[in-house]
Amino acid sequence: MVDATHGGMGTIPAAEVPDVELYHPHSWIEKYVFSQDAKYIAIQYSITALAIGLVALVLSWLIRLQLGFPGVFTFIDADHYYQFITMHGMIMVIYLLTALFLGGFGNYLIPLMIGARDMVFPFVNMLSYWVYLLAVLVLAASFFMPGGPTGAGWTLYPPQAILSGTPGQQWGIILMLISLIIFIIGFTMGGLNYVVTVLQARARGMTLMRMPLTVWGIFTATILALLAFPALLVANIMMLFDKLLGTSFFMPAIVELGQQMSYRGGSPILFQHLFWFFGHPEVYIVALPAFGIVSDLIATHARRNIFGYRMMVWAIVAIAALSFVVWAHHMYVSGMNPNFGFFFATTTLIIAIPTAIKVYNWILTLWRGNIHLNVPMLFALGFIVTFVNGGLSGLFLGNVVVDVPLSDTMFVVAHFHMVMGVAPIMVIFGAIYHWYPKITGRMMDEGLGKFHFWVTFLGAYLIYFPMHYLGLLGVPRRYHDLGTTDFIPPNVATLNEFITVMALIVGFAQMVFLYNLFTSVWKGKLAGGNPWRATTLEWQTPQTPPAHGNFGKDLPVVYRWAYDYSVPGAKEDFIPQNQPPSAATA
């Protein structure tokens, strides 16, 4: 074990872990395309995720145009509408959020933050990206196949997902299932790497309880993903068999449009259990890295140690463990045995406790801090507001009987967009503004960044907060057109128009972000190695951007936790993790 350094600094033995032999690229292609350097792989992951995420963004505009102005954009017929919502949801959850947090931030930050030269299996790591890219291409290909992409909803519930009443049932659903299977294979390669790297390749002195919370979040989320994705994998394989070979894993006896089908004895509910056994941990696969990263953003920019670090770590671990016993709260009205409701409502509301502790500790870190309201901090604040809002509406949906009227309404749409759409994306933006100077050596434009923040934060809040009330009124989700419905008053249309206009404005702000992101590569102010005066190891590299191998000739030795900000008596208001005890107070 590398953990031999637990017992205090004085007893660190001489380097017992030999330095890693790095793979050195021999050509331009090996350096920039088939790179085995986790930092390049991270950038490849991130650019690919953002590119396919742009598709999801455009789809969201089309969805909102239809909801805000039904009948005006006639090319958005019901088929297209259901295809758009399906692809928007799946891209955002899997191909953008999961890939960006784990493949993007995980790859970039894990080796740098724990003081490693690279991931422990660089070749597999490279393969992980190319397999992910293939999954994205297969998914994108379904737009161009006969019948178009699947319109089964991102949850892909059988039987309708593979029957002819659903758009994209020829090729779309098949490519969706195959793409997910490929994604899971690719993710597993990367995920094993992240876990083993954290466990085996930490620098001397970097005990587990000294790791930055960013690493804790990504590490725990990766373990979750490695345990949860297999459930989705088997569900996808079985559904593919049902579709292609006529098996009946999820297909009971069915009469489709007057015709008796040959399926017998399958269980649609079984698919839902498998899907949500993956799907609920998936929420935390996205949320835990966000929790970790935002903790570090807040600590760094409030110049204050994260409050209650140990509680923060245990809260991450507790949330991760609990996230495997709450999945059926997505199924309160699915027709499963209703007695499940007692159990799953209880576990679900219990998970609110460690989650609340995290929120308290974030805001208690601000308290008595020295808060720099720069762009990463603003996004961190935006995260807390939207996450608390979305988390609290989860207490409605998690409490089984309260969920009954609200399930399948716009309340659910508002809730999950707030809590696992807006909130983690706030963190992604904050993290990009925060680590951009390390990745490129230059700062992103502060003015454009603030514009981006305010429009995105306030706009997204104005989109999703009122949307809860549409659901409370009873407006169902996944409706191409509300038509005339007695209980829906005309002012619902007015609110829908407003939400659509806000969505377009927020979408425009993302173009400003992309402009800032790309032009700052050469136009941004030079950043220097540690522009935020942060403690963690990635800011202590000899070069910026860090070179292959990250840390020059000698790996750093870690003497302290990641949160020595504003230590009384210290020369500066931060002490890097690799600064020896004597040097800090001299």
CA-wise closest residue to 437 among 519, 512, 531 = 531
Minimum distance, C-beta of residue 136 to other proteins, in the bound complex (Å): 25
Q: 310 vs 553, which CB is nearer to other proteins?
A: 310
Give the rounded distance of the alpha carbon of 151 from its chain centre: 23
Nearer to other proteins, 53 or 168 (CB): 168
Exposed / middle / buried, residue 144 (Cβ in 10 Å: 0-12, 13-18, 19+)? exposed
Quickly list H helices, 245-351. 268-301, 309-322, 340-350
Nearer to other proteins, 341 or 507 (CB): 341
For 298, residues 6+ apart whose C-beta sits below 8 A from its C-beta are 306, 362, 365, 366, 377, 380
By beta-carbon proximity to other proteins, the closer residue of 160 and 200 is 160
d(CA 87, CA 60): 10
> In the complex with other proteins, which residue's Cβ is closer, 425 or 492?
492
Q: Smallest gap, in angstroms, from Cβ of residue 164 to other proteins?
A: 8
Q: Residue 83 Cβ, how far from other proteins at the closest point, in Å?
A: 10
Shortest Cβ 498–other proteins spacing (Å): 12
The answer to whether the beta carbons of residues 332 and 403 sit under 8 Å apart is: yes
Alpha carbons 237 and 227: distance in angstroms, whole number: 17
Alpha carbons within 13 angstroms on the beta-carbon side of residue 5 total: 24
In the bound complex, what is the minimum distance in angstroms from residue 261's beta carbon to other proteins? 9
Q: Tell me how far, at minimum, the Cβ of 24 lies from other proteins, in Å.
A: 42
Q: Quick one: tokens of 324?
A: 């495997």
A 10 A CB-CB count for 406 gives 22
> CB of residue 353 vs other proteins: minimum separation in angstroms?
5
Instruction: Annotate 512-521 with b (16+ C-beta within 10 A) or e (fewer).
Output: bbeebbeebe
CB 187 within 8 A of CB 104: no
Q: Which is nearer to other proteins, 97 or 375 (CB)?
A: 375
| CA distance linking residue 489 with residue 551, whole number of Å | 63
CA 235 to chain CA mean position, Å: 22
Closest by CA position to 254, among listed 164, 382, 141: 164
Name residues whose C-beta falls within 8 Å of residue 29's C-beta, 6 or more positions apart in sequence.
none
Nearer to other proteins among residue 11 and residue 259 (C-beta): 259
Of 25 and 308, CB closest to other proteins: 308
Closer of 101 and 332 to other proteins (Cβ): 332
**CB nearer other proteins, residue 145 or residue 402:** 402
- What is the nearest approach in angstroms of other proteins to the Cβ of residue 391? 9
**Least distance from C-beta 264 to other proteins, angstroms?**
9
Q: Is 445 left (phi over 0), alpha (psi -120 to 50) or beta?
A: beta
Report in angstroms the alpha-carbon separations of 75 from 60, 142, 216, 227, 502.
Answer: 15, 19, 46, 41, 22
Which is closer to other proteins, CB of 227 or CB of 336? 336
Q: What is the DSSP letter of 310?
A: H
Closest separation in Å from C-beta 255 to other proteins: 5
**For residue 380, which of 498, 308, 481, 300 has the smallest C-alpha distance?**
300
Cβ at position 342, least distance to other proteins in Å: 6
Contact 206, 115 (CB under 8 A): yes
Closest CA to 264 of 247, 286, 280, 244: 247
Minimum CB distance to other proteins, residue 117 (Å): 30
Q: How far is the CB of 407 from other proteins (least distance, A)?
A: 7
Q: Which residues pair with 526 in a beta bridge?
A: 442
Residue 531, beta-bridge partner list: none
3-state secondary structure of 370: coil
Query: Which DSSP category does 245 fall into?
Result: T
Closer by beta carbon to other proteins, 106 or else 531: 531
Q: Cβ closer to other proteins: 70 or 441?
A: 70
φ, ψ at 476 (rounded to 5°): -75, 155
Rg (CA), the chain: 24
